[in-house]
Amino acid sequence: MSEQFLTAMGLPDDMNQTVLHVLEHCTSKWEGDPRFEHIANLTDPSGISATVMIAEEDVEVGFAVLGQGTLRVDAVQLLPGVAMLDVYDADGSMLTRVLAFVDDPQAYPLEDFHNITHAAHLDDFHLGAIAVDMQCYDTREDWREATKEQNLVVLDDGKEVMIGPRFVTSPWLFALASGEATQDEISPVSHVIGVINAVDTCTNAITGEQFYRLSINMGVDIPLVMPIDTTPAPTPGGVVDGRAFLCGSSGIWVEEEH
Protein backbone atom coordinates (compact mmCIF):
# COMPACT_ATOMS: atom_id res chain seq x y z
CA MET A 1 0.00 0.00 0.00
CA SER A 2 1.39 3.40 -0.98
CA GLU A 3 1.71 5.94 1.83
CA GLN A 4 2.68 8.95 -0.25
CA PHE A 5 3.01 11.28 2.72
CA LEU A 6 6.12 9.34 3.77
CA THR A 7 7.98 10.74 0.74
CA ALA A 8 7.57 14.20 2.29
CA MET A 9 10.21 13.00 4.79
CA GLY A 10 12.40 11.20 2.27
CA LEU A 11 11.19 7.83 3.59
CA PRO A 12 10.00 4.78 1.60
CA ASP A 13 6.40 5.27 0.42
CA ASP A 14 5.31 1.99 2.02
CA MET A 15 4.61 1.82 5.75
CA ASN A 16 5.93 -1.72 6.14
CA GLN A 17 9.19 -0.70 4.46
CA THR A 18 9.40 2.38 6.67
CA VAL A 19 8.99 0.23 9.81
CA LEU A 20 11.81 -2.05 8.66
CA HIS A 21 13.89 1.02 7.76
CA VAL A 22 13.51 2.47 11.28
CA LEU A 23 14.30 -0.83 12.98
CA GLU A 24 17.39 -1.37 10.84
CA HIS A 25 18.82 2.15 11.21
CA CYS A 26 17.48 3.19 14.63
CA THR A 27 19.62 5.70 16.51
CA SER A 28 18.00 5.25 19.96
CA LYS A 29 15.92 2.73 21.91
CA TRP A 30 13.81 3.11 25.03
CA GLU A 31 13.40 0.40 27.64
CA GLY A 32 11.24 0.23 30.72
CA ASP A 33 7.83 1.49 29.55
CA PRO A 34 5.39 -1.30 30.54
CA ARG A 35 2.98 -0.26 27.78
CA PHE A 36 5.44 -1.24 25.04
CA GLU A 37 7.72 -4.20 24.47
CA HIS A 38 9.95 -2.21 22.14
CA ILE A 39 10.41 1.47 21.23
CA ALA A 40 12.96 2.29 18.51
CA ASN A 41 13.66 5.76 17.12
CA LEU A 42 15.46 6.95 14.02
CA THR A 43 16.37 10.64 14.11
CA ASP A 44 17.81 11.84 10.81
CA PRO A 45 20.19 14.83 10.57
CA SER A 46 17.60 16.49 8.30
CA GLY A 47 15.30 16.87 11.33
CA ILE A 48 13.00 13.93 10.54
CA SER A 49 12.21 11.58 13.40
CA ALA A 50 10.32 8.27 13.17
CA THR A 51 9.58 5.85 16.01
CA VAL A 52 8.34 2.26 15.90
CA MET A 53 6.31 1.09 18.92
CA ILE A 54 5.62 -2.60 19.46
CA ALA A 55 3.06 -3.80 22.01
CA GLU A 56 2.14 -7.50 21.88
CA GLU A 57 1.12 -8.01 18.23
CA ASP A 58 0.45 -4.34 17.47
CA VAL A 59 2.98 -2.18 15.64
CA GLU A 60 2.49 1.59 15.55
CA VAL A 61 4.62 4.36 14.05
CA GLY A 62 4.96 7.96 15.22
CA PHE A 63 6.67 10.86 13.48
CA ALA A 64 8.07 14.29 14.20
CA VAL A 65 9.59 17.15 12.23
CA LEU A 66 11.99 18.67 14.70
CA GLY A 67 12.01 22.45 14.93
CA GLN A 68 13.07 25.02 17.50
CA GLY A 69 11.21 23.37 20.36
CA THR A 70 9.78 26.55 21.86
CA LEU A 71 6.07 25.77 22.25
CA ARG A 72 4.28 25.22 25.53
CA VAL A 73 1.79 22.34 25.44
CA ASP A 74 -0.25 20.05 27.63
CA ALA A 75 -0.31 16.62 26.02
CA VAL A 76 -2.18 13.35 26.49
CA GLN A 77 -1.86 10.27 24.34
CA LEU A 78 -5.18 9.02 22.95
CA LEU A 79 -3.64 6.21 20.89
CA PRO A 80 -0.07 4.89 20.89
CA GLY A 81 1.81 7.52 18.88
CA VAL A 82 -1.15 9.94 18.60
CA ALA A 83 -1.54 12.76 21.15
CA MET A 84 -3.99 15.56 21.83
CA LEU A 85 -2.13 18.82 22.34
CA ASP A 86 -3.31 22.00 24.02
CA VAL A 87 -0.97 24.68 22.63
CA TYR A 88 -0.31 27.86 24.64
CA ASP A 89 1.31 31.20 23.93
CA ALA A 90 4.10 32.70 26.05
CA ASP A 91 1.54 34.28 28.39
CA GLY A 92 -0.20 30.98 29.07
CA SER A 93 -3.29 31.64 26.93
CA MET A 94 -4.49 28.61 25.00
CA LEU A 95 -4.10 29.03 21.23
CA THR A 96 -5.53 25.79 19.89
CA ARG A 97 -6.18 22.10 20.53
CA VAL A 98 -5.01 19.62 17.90
CA LEU A 99 -4.20 15.97 17.29
CA ALA A 100 -0.65 15.05 16.32
CA PHE A 101 1.62 12.10 15.73
CA VAL A 102 4.33 11.92 18.41
CA ASP A 103 7.69 10.18 18.19
CA ASP A 104 8.07 9.66 21.95
CA PRO A 105 5.09 7.73 23.39
CA GLN A 106 6.95 7.21 26.68
CA ALA A 107 6.60 10.94 27.41
CA TYR A 108 2.79 11.09 27.65
CA PRO A 109 0.07 9.39 29.69
CA LEU A 110 -2.42 7.26 27.75
CA GLU A 111 -5.82 8.70 28.59
CA ASP A 112 -9.53 8.31 27.91
CA PHE A 113 -10.67 11.41 25.98
CA HIS A 114 -13.87 11.60 28.03
CA ASN A 115 -12.11 11.11 31.38
CA ILE A 116 -8.69 12.77 31.32
CA THR A 117 -6.97 12.61 34.70
CA HIS A 118 -3.58 14.16 33.97
CA ALA A 119 -1.42 15.48 31.15
CA ALA A 120 2.26 15.98 30.37
CA HIS A 121 3.30 19.64 30.68
CA LEU A 122 6.04 20.60 28.23
CA ASP A 123 7.69 23.99 27.73
CA ASP A 124 9.88 23.19 24.71
CA PHE A 125 7.69 21.11 22.43
CA HIS A 126 8.59 20.56 18.77
CA LEU A 127 5.43 20.92 16.65
CA GLY A 128 5.57 20.31 12.90
CA ALA A 129 3.53 19.00 9.97
CA ILE A 130 3.81 16.49 7.14
CA ALA A 131 1.97 17.33 3.92
CA VAL A 132 -0.68 14.83 2.80
CA ASP A 133 -2.60 16.72 0.14
CA MET A 134 -1.56 20.37 0.00
CA GLN A 135 -1.48 23.11 -2.61
CA CYS A 136 1.03 25.95 -2.80
CA TYR A 137 0.10 29.45 -3.96
CA ASP A 138 2.64 32.09 -4.95
CA THR A 139 0.79 34.97 -3.27
CA ARG A 140 -1.95 35.52 -0.73
CA GLU A 141 -4.07 37.00 -3.48
CA ASP A 142 -3.73 33.80 -5.54
CA TRP A 143 -4.71 31.77 -2.49
CA ARG A 144 -7.77 33.92 -1.72
CA GLU A 145 -9.04 33.73 -5.29
CA ALA A 146 -8.54 29.97 -5.57
CA THR A 147 -9.98 28.99 -2.16
CA LYS A 148 -12.64 31.61 -1.45
CA GLU A 149 -15.50 29.12 -1.79
CA GLN A 150 -14.19 26.36 0.53
CA ASN A 151 -12.66 28.76 3.06
CA LEU A 152 -15.59 31.19 3.26
CA VAL A 153 -17.59 30.99 6.50
CA VAL A 154 -20.92 32.69 7.23
CA LEU A 155 -21.24 33.85 10.83
CA ASP A 156 -24.45 33.82 12.87
CA ASP A 157 -25.01 37.50 12.07
CA GLY A 158 -24.77 36.78 8.35
CA LYS A 159 -21.33 38.28 7.94
CA GLU A 160 -19.00 36.42 5.61
CA VAL A 161 -15.38 35.89 6.69
CA MET A 162 -12.59 33.94 5.07
CA ILE A 163 -10.56 31.45 7.10
CA GLY A 164 -6.82 31.96 6.88
CA PRO A 165 -4.21 32.50 5.70
CA ARG A 166 -3.11 31.32 9.15
CA PHE A 167 -5.30 28.50 10.41
CA VAL A 168 -5.28 24.95 11.78
CA THR A 169 -7.97 22.52 12.89
CA SER A 170 -8.09 18.79 13.61
CA PRO A 171 -11.52 17.56 12.44
CA TRP A 172 -11.26 14.21 14.23
CA LEU A 173 -11.42 16.06 17.55
CA PHE A 174 -14.91 17.32 16.68
CA ALA A 175 -15.97 13.82 15.60
CA LEU A 176 -14.65 12.39 18.86
CA ALA A 177 -16.33 15.04 21.01
CA SER A 178 -19.69 14.59 19.25
CA GLY A 179 -19.61 10.82 19.46
CA GLU A 180 -19.41 10.38 15.68
CA ALA A 181 -16.04 8.65 16.09
CA THR A 182 -14.52 6.44 18.76
CA GLN A 183 -11.07 6.99 20.21
CA ASP A 184 -9.53 4.11 18.26
CA GLU A 185 -10.72 5.64 14.96
CA ILE A 186 -9.03 9.04 15.23
CA SER A 187 -6.32 10.42 12.95
CA PRO A 188 -3.98 13.41 13.33
CA VAL A 189 -4.74 14.57 9.79
CA SER A 190 -5.63 18.27 9.97
CA HIS A 191 -6.55 21.24 7.80
CA VAL A 192 -3.56 23.55 7.76
CA ILE A 193 -3.28 26.97 6.12
CA GLY A 194 0.00 28.82 6.52
CA VAL A 195 2.01 31.72 5.21
CA ILE A 196 5.38 30.49 3.92
CA ASN A 197 8.29 32.16 5.70
CA ALA A 198 11.13 30.19 4.11
CA VAL A 199 11.79 27.16 1.90
CA ASP A 200 14.75 24.77 2.05
CA THR A 201 15.61 21.59 0.18
CA CYS A 202 16.70 18.80 2.52
CA THR A 203 18.07 15.31 1.99
CA ASN A 204 17.29 12.28 4.12
CA ALA A 205 20.78 11.17 5.13
CA ILE A 206 20.06 7.43 4.93
CA THR A 207 17.74 7.13 1.92
CA GLY A 208 19.33 9.98 -0.05
CA GLU A 209 15.86 11.22 -1.01
CA GLN A 210 15.21 14.95 -1.13
CA PHE A 211 12.19 16.82 0.23
CA TYR A 212 11.09 20.38 0.90
CA ARG A 213 11.24 21.77 4.43
CA LEU A 214 9.21 24.94 4.87
CA SER A 215 8.88 27.34 7.75
CA ILE A 216 5.23 28.40 7.87
CA ASN A 217 3.04 30.42 10.17
CA MET A 218 -0.36 28.81 10.82
CA GLY A 219 -0.92 30.99 13.89
CA VAL A 220 2.35 29.67 15.31
CA ASP A 221 5.58 29.08 13.40
CA ILE A 222 6.21 25.42 12.57
CA PRO A 223 8.25 23.38 10.07
CA LEU A 224 6.27 21.66 7.30
CA VAL A 225 7.75 19.00 5.01
CA MET A 226 6.51 18.32 1.47
CA PRO A 227 7.50 15.93 -1.35
CA ILE A 228 10.21 17.29 -3.63
CA ASP A 229 7.94 16.87 -6.68
CA THR A 230 5.27 19.23 -5.26
CA THR A 231 3.86 21.34 -8.11
CA PRO A 232 3.73 24.28 -8.05
CA ALA A 233 6.75 24.42 -5.77
CA PRO A 234 6.51 26.38 -2.51
CA THR A 235 7.86 29.93 -2.51
CA PRO A 236 8.58 32.33 0.40
CA GLY A 237 5.74 34.80 0.86
CA GLY A 238 3.22 32.37 -0.61
CA VAL A 239 0.54 30.30 1.10
CA VAL A 240 0.14 26.55 1.57
CA ASP A 241 -3.33 25.08 2.14
CA GLY A 242 -4.66 21.55 2.55
CA ARG A 243 -4.44 18.37 4.58
CA ALA A 244 -1.39 17.55 6.67
CA PHE A 245 -0.46 15.27 9.53
CA LEU A 246 0.49 17.36 12.54
CA CYS A 247 3.36 15.80 14.45
CA GLY A 248 5.51 16.55 17.44
CA SER A 249 8.11 15.62 20.00
CA SER A 250 9.22 16.52 23.49
CA GLY A 251 12.75 16.44 22.09
CA ILE A 252 13.71 13.49 24.27
CA TRP A 253 15.59 11.68 21.50
CA VAL A 254 17.68 14.76 20.71
CA GLU A 255 18.44 15.22 24.41
CA GLU A 256 19.48 11.56 24.64
CA GLU A 257 21.97 11.97 21.80
CA HIS A 258 23.60 14.83 23.67
Amino acid residing at 134: M
The 3-state secondary structure of the chain, one letter per residue: CECHHHHHHCCCCEHHHHHHHHHHHCCEEECCCCCCCEEEEEECCCCEEEEEEEECCEEEEEEEECCCCCEEEEEEEEECCEEEEEEECCCCCEEEEEEEEECCHHHCCECECCECCCCEEEEEEEEEEEEEEEEEECCHHHHHHHHCCCCEEECCCCCEEECCCCEEECHHHHHHHHCCCCHHHCCCEEEEEEEEEEEEEEECCCCCCEEEEEEEECCCEEEEEEECCCCCCCCCCCEEEEEEEEEEECCHHHHHHC
According to DSSP, the residues that pair with 214 across neighbouring strands are 199, 224
Per-residue pLDDT tens for 223-238?
999 999 999 999 999 9
Per-residue pLDDT tens for 95-138?
999 999 999 999 999 999 999 999 999 999 999 999 999 999 99
CA–CA gap between residue 147 and residue 152 (Å, rounded): 8
Q: Is the pLDDT of residue 257 over 80?
A: no
Tell me the pLDDT band of 256, cut-offs 50, 70 and 90: low
Mean pLDDT of the chain: 94
pTM: 0.94
Per-residue pLDDT tens for 163-205?
899 999 999 999 999 999 999 999 999 999 999 999 999 999 9
In 244-255, which positions are buried (b, 16+ CB within 10 angstroms) versus exposed (e)? bbbbbbbbbbbe
